[in-house]
């Protein structure tokens, strides 16, 4: 097995385990975290902090390295503009998260619980992804990917 594929599998397993241990696969806990006007449960703020700290470290390291460990270049979107697609997509993401307490990562991890609500959400998410795929030409942009030169 190629190293990047193995690294992706290991990272995915760590991510899924983190979601399960932190109880982010429980939509009730997520909805309680989002309910700041009601019975707010701030415990998931620690999950967010736990994710931001290594992410910030990785972002700082990215600025100091010519390439990631398992690739010859960093691939980052060159488009940094805030357009209608970004705003609409963010709104749909937030709407789905706020209505049912799932976003894509925790929903996929929560499939392991076998609950029909989770399966239904994941199926609807898959349908939405397929619909976008079939209508992608209407949303397509000519976005270039910024590529750092390979190390000497």
How far is the C-alpha of 124 from the C-alpha of 122, rounded, in Å?
A: 5
Q: Which helix (H) or strand (E) holds 28?
A: helix 27-34
Domain boundaries, the chain: 3-147
Q: Which phi and psi angles does 58 have, rounded to 5°?
A: -65, -40
Per-residue pLDDT in tens (0 to 9) along the chain, 152 residues: 577 788 889 989 998 999 899 998 898 998 999 898 999 999 989 988 988 998 898 888 888 888 887 788 887 778 788 988 889 989 988 888 888 888 888 899 999 889 999 999 999 999 988 888 888 776 665 555 556 666 65
Q: Which phi and psi angles does 76 have, rounded to 5°?
A: -130, 140
CA 95 to chain centre: 15
């Amino acid at each position: 097995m190629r190293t990047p594929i193995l690294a992706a599998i290991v990272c995915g397993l760590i991510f899924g385990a983190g979601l399960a241990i932190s109880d982010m696969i429980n939509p009730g806990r997520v909805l309680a975290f989002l309910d700041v006007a009601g019975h707010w449960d701030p415990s998931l703020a620690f999950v967010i902090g736990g994710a931001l700290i290594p992410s910030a470290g990785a972002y700082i390291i990215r600025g100091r390295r010519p390439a990631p460990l398992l690739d010859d270049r960093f691939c980052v979107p060159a488009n940094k503009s805030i357009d209608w697609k970004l705003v609409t997509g963010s709104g749909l993401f937030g709407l789905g998260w706020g209505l049912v307490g799932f976003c894509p990562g925790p929903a996929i991890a929560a499939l392991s619980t076998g609950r029909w609500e989770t399966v239904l959400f994941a199926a609807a998410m898959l349908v939405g992804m397929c619909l976008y795929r079939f209508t992608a030409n209407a949303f397509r942009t000519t976005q270039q990917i910024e590529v750092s030169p390979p190390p000497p």
